[in-house]
Structure 1
């Protein structure tokens, strides 16, 4: 039996590859397995090669595997593109329709099954995915009933006849694979060890962010669709109206961010979500949020750039833009969840921080975290707290003779002023994007400029989150590895492959607070490491250079980057760590 295995399905975009992976993996989630999936797809509606890689394990997994055990191919291109990823003895389940062939030099087994022919006999070739799932279930010795239950859940709205046809396609695929066992030389064992049977969430990062926003009290979301952020808006469209909230699809990203600012100014928690090109359009408005001290949360789901770039591929190249993109100096917070589960809690943190400090907060994700699906423990809703800071929600008592405007931007030790919701008695004040006095009226005097600038920047002078990063390991180490977002999971797995009794301690820091950079909190780990390695997915080593800006021992710092649009695999990081530690053989 296998403690884990990787299964990949591939074919042409638009022929059911996504639904095949979804039905297969969701059923395994119901069986209690840990899952991590990553979908490769083209930036078009239909056509082009696509695949869905699902890793199944009895233990927690946070990345794709180095290779795959089972490849389900709906076309020859899938075999040509993906067969080299198979482990020795791996198996290809291919549709007989295209007369599949495989490079004879590969140590793999090709099994052709008439997916399309069987599906047509049941009424529609669309059901070839059910035939493939049935064959996969037989190969892995999985029970049929959970898959039948899943089919019933998904298709009962279309009627019992459709459910029965899909059940038959599933069964016939199972039987076709069973028949192959009787005369083919399939020596590898693809049976999964039993799971713990626990119930877990199985979701993409965008859904975790959406659920976090709902629990943070958001009731309005203006947004413009863009990959890979659109699912956040789709989640909110589905759920906000049930809570009396509203989602508006705006004409562009500029309208989205300014509407979010206006809503927050009026006292209703709101946010918007986009990707790199959309964030470029929002930069001026982020400055408006900073100048007017209006809370603002923006989710940036990073993808390959620049320009249109690689809309459906993995990259982490927006970090500099998020920190330095706006003109002028404003206080700003940039966060990065450590994984999908943390995305839920970090989203709530983002709204609390934005309102407490009255600053723009950018919640970073990347395509792999946003669209990659993984299991998670159920969210602990008892941890949810709402902190609105110095927001005033009731009328302000003032003397009748007091005709002065309320000092919305009055100076204070912490730089944070009381923020009355518009319309409250006694809270009248001006709001403008130009430099202003404590009452909000325009002022360009040198003295006022210095006071207001220092007041705003004072807010975050000593800002450090309760958990600015997650740490695995000790302060003293042979090697300190620093990463963020989806690289965390794959780096963590690579580190666990080394025996500390042989190579010494390898400590892993998963950065969550990216700006203001938590240098003081990180110093003990930087000072205690003999070598420091920063791993990220961009060309210019943006996180590496930010760490260098905040730490003096550049000679012991190293950078490992990847920027071809594909996620890191554990063995890539493992080999690089091996070279740093000068280990002759991978342990």
Structure 2
């Protein structure tokens, strides 16, 4: 009996690898297991190796596992590329069609099951993924009936005969595997609690958070790994009176979203690194006109096209300093799918309250990794519109409205078109309080100072996730976005090794929460910053804002793969 299982399916892109993992994980999620899934996929539409690694547990998990229990292979390349993850008691289940060859340097057991042949006999080779699911059930001694409702939902629109055939394929795979492995299954999962939970990717949570936060317009251009946000909202926004426009490019997307926000509609745009590069001038327009906008950046491997389907966290400096000139902005970084929902909803409040661009920073692992999420509490979502003026007192004055009035807190009253008495200038050049262009040195100083006063005392719930059980820690581990789960697992192992570890996961990247971070840094002997980039951008931001550079150790990974818990554990052990 085991409490946790790591399962991976691999093959050529386009032959049903994703659907195999999807069907397997949805069924187990409905039994009440916690799951965490991560897909490795090629930037090609079809062909190239792809795999889906899914972790199943009776308790919460937030990262992929170091090793592997079961590897399901649709080709020899899957065995050759992934077998080293298997532990000695691991199992390889391969399609007999390609005459699988077991690598010589592994103690894992190889079973050749005729996925394709069985599926073909049942009517179509496309059902080989169902045969593979059935073979997995045999190893886990799992009742195949748990898949019936999932199969019904996925294939029901094609008719009951298709549903029956797919269930027959699962049964056939189960039987074929049992015939080979006569002995009792050795990987029986402990029973789950049976509770119903959501199972979502981060992009879906971001899109749902936008809906809950009052967003009614999105302008975007498709790009990996952000496209699912647009695809989700295309389906959902019209029912709420909203719309999505797929623009001709990223520049148009950002300026359209700015225009919608200027008109009073909460609007969003989403992209990845290359798209954000194109949006930068428009983000500057949002900054100088003090027009709210929410922008999602799903980080991926760069530069240029780079590694469009691989993990990286290299956009931090660009998101903070990428615009020409200087504007105030807010950059936030959720660390779980659940946080992605709540943070995106809150981003619209912050954008309107402070009248600045708000960037929700994600990464590929968080955006496309699928994980168990506790039921979302929509009562926690509120709508705050800041200093939005919807009605002005009757007046005979011919003066323009002071849209950019210099105020003590830096936030000026804001009107939308149509408010009587609210007429003002709006341009991308420096301006006076009414928006009229001005190159006066005194005015320039007043307006620049005013804009930056807005974010001096920003109110942000939990700018850092802190787990600090030690007053005098040997090491403080710092990370952001999707590295949280791997860091938390590494911490548990380090504590068992006698290393005193604290953890600070940064959720507000800019303005940086210096006051919250400083005491944690001061109390630690070493500060290890874990991030998926080559230059240590978060480490450099930490040193710029907190100091104590002599304590900071960078732990970097930029090969396109996410961190594994053992990598963080090993790095920190080397220090002591």
User: TM over 0.5, yes or no?
Assistant: yes
Is structure 2 residue 270 aligned with structure 1 residue 268? Answer: no
Is structure 2 residue 447 aligned with structure 1 residue 452? Answer: yes
Give the corresponding residue for 1:525: 520
Aligned residue among 251, 254, 279 for 2:276: 279
Give the corresponding residue for 2:237: 240
Give the deviation of 1:161 after TM superposition: 0.9
Give the deviation of 1:503 after TM superposition: 2.2
Give the deviation of 1:539 after TM superposition: 0.1
Give the distance between the partners of 1:399 and 1:212, measured in 2 at CA: 40
Give the corresponding residue for 1:120: 120
Give the deviation of 1:389 after TM superposition: 0.3
- Report the more deviating stretch, 475-484 or 31-40: 475-484
Q: What residue ranges of structure 2 are gaps of 5+ in the alignment?
A: none
Check conservation: 1:464, 1:518, Cα contact below 8 A.
Answer: no
Check conservation: 2:517, 2:546, Cα contact below 8 A.
Answer: no
Structure 1 ranges of 4+ moved more than 3 A? none
Give the corresponding residue for 1:108: 108
Residue by residue, what CA displacement relative to the aligned partner does 1:266-307 show, whole Å, maximum 9, x if unpaired? 000000000000000000000000000000110000000000
Check conservation: 2:140, 2:185, Cα contact below 8 A.
Answer: no
Equivalence map 1:87-236=2 (5 Å): 87-182=87-182, 189-236=186-233
Equivalence map 1:22-33=2 (5 Å): 22-33=22-33
Is structure 2 residue 492 aligned with structure 1 residue 490? Answer: no
Q: What residue ranges of structure 1 are gaps of 5+ in the alignment?
A: 583-587
Check conservation: 1:297, 1:360, Cα contact below 8 A.
Answer: yes
Aligned residue among 343, 346, 349 for 1:349: 346
Count of residue pairs the alignment pairs up: 575
Residue by residue, what CA displacement relative to the aligned partner does 1:481-515 show, whole Å, maximum 9, x if unpaired? 00000111111111111236x62531111100000
Give the distance between the partners of 2:448 and 2:416, measured in 1 at CA: 23
Secondary structure of 1:94's aligned partner: strand
Check conservation: 2:494, 2:500, Cα contact below 8 A.
Answer: no
Secondary structure of 2:481's aligned partner: coil
Check conservation: 1:475, 1:524, Cα contact below 8 A.
Answer: no
Give the distance between the partners of 1:385 and 1:310, measured in 2 at CA: 38
Give the deviation of 1:556 after TM superposition: 1.5
Check conservation: 1:130, 1:169, Cα contact below 8 A.
Answer: yes
Equivalence map 1:468-487=2 (5 Å): 468-474=463-469, 476=471, 477-487=473-483
The alignment's TM-score, normalised by the length of structure 1, stands at 0.97
Give the corresponding residue for 1:379: 376
Give the corresponding residue for 2:255: 258
Give the distance between the partners of 1:518 and 1:475, measured in 2 at CA: 20
Secondary structure of 2:494's aligned partner: coil
Give the corresponding residue for 2:561: 566
Is structure 2 residue 551 aligned with structure 1 residue 553? Answer: no
Check conservation: 1:473, 1:505, Cα contact below 8 A.
Answer: no
Residue by residue, what CA displacement relative to the aligned partner does 1:362-411 show, whole Å, maximum 9, x if unpaired? 00000000000000101111101111100112x311322x1100100001
Give the corresponding residue for 2:300: 303
Give the distance between the partners of 1:103 and 1:278, measured in 2 at CA: 42
Residue by residue, what CA displacement relative to the aligned partner does 1:68-110 show, whole Å, maximum 9, x if unpaired? 1100000011011111111112111000100000112211101
Give the distance between the partners of 1:544 and 1:464, measured in 2 at CA: 24
Secondary structure of 2:162's aligned partner: helix
Equivalence map 1:77-92=2 (5 Å): 77-92=77-92
Give the deviation of 1:187 after TM superposition: 8.2
Check conservation: 1:484, 1:510, Cα contact below 8 A.
Answer: yes
Give the corresponding residue for 2:508: 513
Alignment RMSD (CA, Å): 1.1
Give the corresponding residue for 1:419: 414
The alignment's TM-score, normalised by the length of structure 2, stands at 0.99
Check conservation: 1:210, 1:232, Cα contact below 8 A.
Answer: yes
Secondary structure of 1:529's aligned partner: coil
Give the distance between the partners of 1:569 and 1:268, measured in 2 at CA: 42
Give the corresponding residue for 2:495: 499
Give the deviation of 1:478 after TM superposition: 1.6
Check conservation: 2:141, 2:185, Cα contact below 8 A.
Answer: no
Give the deviation of 1:148 after TM superposition: 1.6
Is structure 2 residue 415 aligned with structure 1 residue 407? Answer: no
Equivalence map 1:30-109=2 (5 Å): 30-109=30-109
Give the distance between the partners of 2:65 and 2:395, measured in 1 at CA: 69
Give the corresponding residue for 1:585: none
Secondary structure of 2:456's aligned partner: coil
Give the deviation of 1:466 after TM superposition: 2.4
Check conservation: 2:346, 2:381, Cα contact below 8 A.
Answer: no
Check conservation: 2:138, 2:185, Cα contact below 8 A.
Answer: no
Give the deviation of 1:447 after TM superposition: 1.0
Give the distance between the partners of 1:312 and 1:372, measured in 2 at CA: 12
Check conservation: 2:470, 2:501, Cα contact below 8 A.
Answer: no
Secondary structure of 1:168's aligned partner: helix
Check conservation: 1:90, 1:188, Cα contact below 8 A.
Answer: no
- Report the more deviating stretch, 97-106 or 262-271: 97-106
Check conservation: 2:72, 2:92, Cα contact below 8 A.
Answer: yes
